[in-house]
Amino acid sequence: MKKIVVLGSINVDTILNISRLPLPGETMAMSDRSTAGGGKGANQAIAAVRAGAETSFIGKIGQDNAADFMIDTFKNDGLNIDHVTRDQQAGTGQAYILLDDKGQNSILIYGGANQTITTDDIKRASDTIAQADCLITQFETPLESSVEAFRIAKENNVLTILNPAPAKNDIPEELLKLTDIIVPNETEAEAITGVKVTDEPSMVEAANKLHTLGVKNVIITVGANGSFYSVNEKNGFVKAYKVNTVDTTAAGDTFIGYFASKLSSDLSNIEEAMKFASKASSITVQTQGAQNSIPLIKNVEF
């Protein structure tokens, strides 16, 4: 069984259903409101464990009801939460998702306890990282903690996957050089490289710029169109599955968790892993919400 460690954010999502995004100064009525577990890190960890990987999570929550809700969610999925700790002052992270009738979303984030993760927290999890096959992180927790986690991973020959989201253009050079695979979407790829990703030639250009920054392998996801890869000096494109999209929340996180669970350490099955991840994501977008929409492996296997 694949061993995966995810360092990342834990949020409780409040989903606000609206017909369209409001204009500046406009007041609108919502058609519905719901609450679900979220956070990019937690979503990716749950995707990995539902994909069949032995998954451990490194994160922080507060001393509130939202924290209790998330702990129960993690336990129900069988996620190892030995390194999920409580901050005594900051509240559990929150996300407010504006979801329109076309299934597109805009998200507002309160970082809370996610922003209190320290390098000491990472060092306390060093044995767990060292024993993993793969370590995944994103940008909803402090960058210094990600760098420390990737350092430990590479000292122990653990594959590192960086999901550079939310988008940043000031990523530490050391973090990029410690990254085995970077997985941005088109917006994030443009923020890092300055290349507007619109077609396959621009994907190649963006990937080449990421290579010059020190990243060995690149996957760029482009939503309903699919995903591009530049891996082991080979480029290719995997088309997405065509489905009726209800809500794109957690689609990218599902892709990463499922991708990591399937990927061989030498990346030799890159297209197979991407197709597997794309199939899982196509199921996620057909249900509203984040973690509740992430499928079990029995519903994804070909």
Residue 95 maps to a domain: yes
- The yes-or-no verdict on residue 150 having pLDDT over 70 is yes
Specify the pTM. 0.93
**What pLDDT score was predicted for residue 46?**
97
Residue 287 maps to a domain: yes
- Distance in angstroms (rounded) separating the CA atoms of residues 235 and 213: 18
Q: Which of 125-129, 260-264, 286-290 is the least confident region?
A: 286-290
* 100 assigned to active site: no
**What pLDDT score was predicted for residue 103?**
77
Residue 267 maps to a domain: yes
**What pLDDT score was predicted for residue 106?**
84
- Distance in angstroms (rounded) separating the CA atoms of residues 82 and 119: 16
Does residue 13 contact residue 37 with C-beta atoms inside 8 Å? yes
Model pLDDT for residues 35-51, shown as the tens digit of each residue: 889 999 999 999 999 99
Model pLDDT for residues 70-123, shown as the tens digit of each residue: 999 999 999 999 999 999 999 999 989 898 888 777 888 899 999 999 999 999
- The yes-or-no verdict on residue 302 having pLDDT over 70 is no
Q: Is 13 annotated as a binding residue?
A: yes
CB under 8 Å to 229, separation ≥6 — which residues? 217, 218, 219, 220, 235, 236, 237, 238, 270, 271, 274
Q: Is 287 annotated as a binding residue?
A: yes
78 DSSP 8-state letter: T
Residue 272 maps to a domain: yes
Secondary structure class of 65 (helix, strand, coil):
helix
Model pLDDT for residues 172-231, shown as the tens digit of each residue: 999 999 999 999 999 999 999 999 999 999 999 999 999 999 999 999 999 889 999 999
> Domain containing 129 — which CATH number?
3.40.1190.20
User: What one-character-per-residue DSSP string does 124-151 give?
Assistant: HTHHHHHT-SEEEE-SSS-HHHHHHHHH
Q: Is 247 annotated as a binding residue?
A: yes
Residue 7 maps to a domain: yes
Residue 300 maps to a domain: no
Q: Partners of 107 in the beta sheet?
A: 97
- The yes-or-no verdict on residue 247 having pLDDT over 80 is no
Q: Is 47 annotated as a binding residue?
A: no
pLDDT (average), residues 249-278: 95
pLDDT (average), residues 288-299: 86
User: What one-character-per-residue DSSP string does 243-296 give?
Assistant: ---S--TTHHHHHHHHHHHH--TT-TTHHHHHHHHHHHHHHHTTSSSSGGGSPP
Residue 168, domain extent: 3-21+30-294
End-to-end, the C-alpha distance of the chain in Å comes to 19
- Distance in angstroms (rounded) separating the CA atoms of residues 243 and 226: 12
Rounded (10°) angle between helices 40-50 and 65-77: 20
Residue 301 maps to a domain: no
Residue 84 maps to a domain: yes
Q: Is 59 annotated as a binding residue?
A: no
89 DSSP 8-state letter: S
Q: Is 187 annotated as a binding residue?
A: no
Q: Which helix (H) or strand (E) holds 33?
A: strand 32-38
More confident site: 234 or 245:
234
Q: Which amino acid would we find at residue 52?
A: G
Taking Cα atoms as reference points, which of 89, 148, 79, 153 lies closest to residue 116? Answer: 89
Task: Out of 68, 77, 253, 266, pick the active-site residue.
Answer: 253
Considering its fold, how many domains does the chain have in total? 1
Model pLDDT for residues 13-30, shown as the tens digit of each residue: 898 999 998 999 999 999
